Structure 1
């Protein structure tokens, strides 16, 4: 069954997996498996987003400026943060192109303006089947000049005392003022997730690259496991938690934060007008009584 009605929140479900997505921000508002929340509504302007898309790129742009092919561009802050943050999609209204019992597709259109020089179309789909969620994200440059584009997802996962994360990555970036990546160092022992490890209960806001695209999260308190698999385009992830919180963010990204000011754009893809970028994130859940 297909619906063209643009209600604000839309539900899809399959078996034990239940998802509620909002047109505002194209964001997941509720994500439950067997009645247990595997994402928490802790983000976004209203603090009610459990996961949101990052388009036309993720994170921040230093000095709210960039130079591309010899041309200077500028941004304006789009939140209370002084730097333009997380793109436009999470702050905009998406329209419904398909809504069925187990599938939802949304689209978003953005025109260049005073806040951002990017013009693009984005599409996002959510599919649930049994115990698996597929989240696909794509965009197309609709501007008249090449610009560096990226993709990402920003989920908020429960941080229980015994939760563990495994997400092998080869490189670790420190953080500098402005919440920007600073320098490459050897991964601190308590942030080396090559093997399952609990997430430290302190401020963490770091980028990891050379990611394998696979990760797993275990929540013994919830008797719940999640296996995460991302397309090759997602070679970077961020981990964020403010400390003394009940959540942590594990954010698959196609590029490094502030890639606009790095060599080769830090993994951002220079798209000519009409060119596209796409990627998929899969999360498979299982209930495990320990």
Structure 2
């Protein structure tokens, strides 16, 4: 969120900056919290309760994560329950890292590109046509030097490592309509991150009237949930 500031229904909320020195807020709360956990061997269940005001976020909620392992892969379910008395904005996402090898191939069907400006990471407009160089509806090499979002994700992505004879498919369920692609030039790893919303979605929606950002408002007592399945195959 640009400048660690969130605008919701005309009200401005000042958050605690977590991306320094830029002063933005990034990645929510879950990675900075201690989760309570229990496991029965193949399933890990985790949860934590967020108290209103922590990190500047004025809404209380309960977050849960369930990780299930089976012979073919892994399923991760994320959910958040609005435990307050008023509606709150909500967004969920996954941030998997993948090894980058010379032969890595990517298939990622999306409908729109949300490019940032050259000076910063934030899009300033709505979805645009996907440039041919970034179009991965058909399998191709991982496009390098990206840190941006895409919209209209078809909730499937495939990454193949031919030299390792391995491939992995991600399949999403729920409102995972966006995906962030991060491909640093050092070529050691890259990220394909299914998310429910565009970068800075609340401010794009509330301040600029941009459509299709995935910005969501969760009523009191309601739950918001997404699921991502990772399936491994030998090729």
Aligned counterparts, 1:230-245, within 5 A: 230-245=172-187
2:102 counterpart SS class = coil
Aligned counterparts, 1:107-146, within 5 A: 107-113=47-53, 115-117=55-57, 118-146=59-87
1:251 counterpart SS class = strand
Deviation at 1:209, TM superposition (A): 0.5
Deviation at 1:144, TM superposition (A): 3.0
Alignment match, 2:208: none
| Residue 252 (structure 1) aligned with residue 194 (structure 2) | yes
Q: 1:225 to 1:265 in 2, by over 3 A?
A: closer
Aligned-partner Cα distance in 2 for 1:248–1:232: 24
Alignment match, 1:8: none
1:115 counterpart SS class = helix
1:190 counterpart SS class = helix
Alignment match, 1:199: 142
Aligned-partner Cα distance in 2 for 1:187–1:84: 27
Aligned-partner Cα distance in 2 for 1:239–1:130: 28
| Residue 282 (structure 1) aligned with residue 225 (structure 2) | no
* Higher relative contact order, chain-length normalized (CA < 8 Å, sep 6+): 2
**How high is the TM-score relative to the length of structure 1?**
0.74
Aligned-partner Cα distance in 2 for 1:280–1:123: 12
Q: Which sections of structure 2, spanning at least 5 residues, go unmatched?
A: 206-210
**How high is the TM-score relative to the length of structure 2?**
0.90
8 Å CA contact 1:216–1:225 kept in 2: the answer is yes
8 Å CA contact 2:115–2:149 kept in 1: the answer is yes
Q: Which sections of structure 1, spanning at least 5 residues, go unmatched?
A: 1-60
8 Å CA contact 1:224–1:286 kept in 2: the answer is yes
8 Å CA contact 2:3–2:17 kept in 1: the answer is no
* CA distances 1:5-24 after superposition (whole Å, capped 9, x unpaired): xxxxxxxxxxxxxxxxxxxx
- After superposition, the CA RMSD in angstroms is 1.6
- Counterpart pick for 1:75 among 15, 25, 38: 15
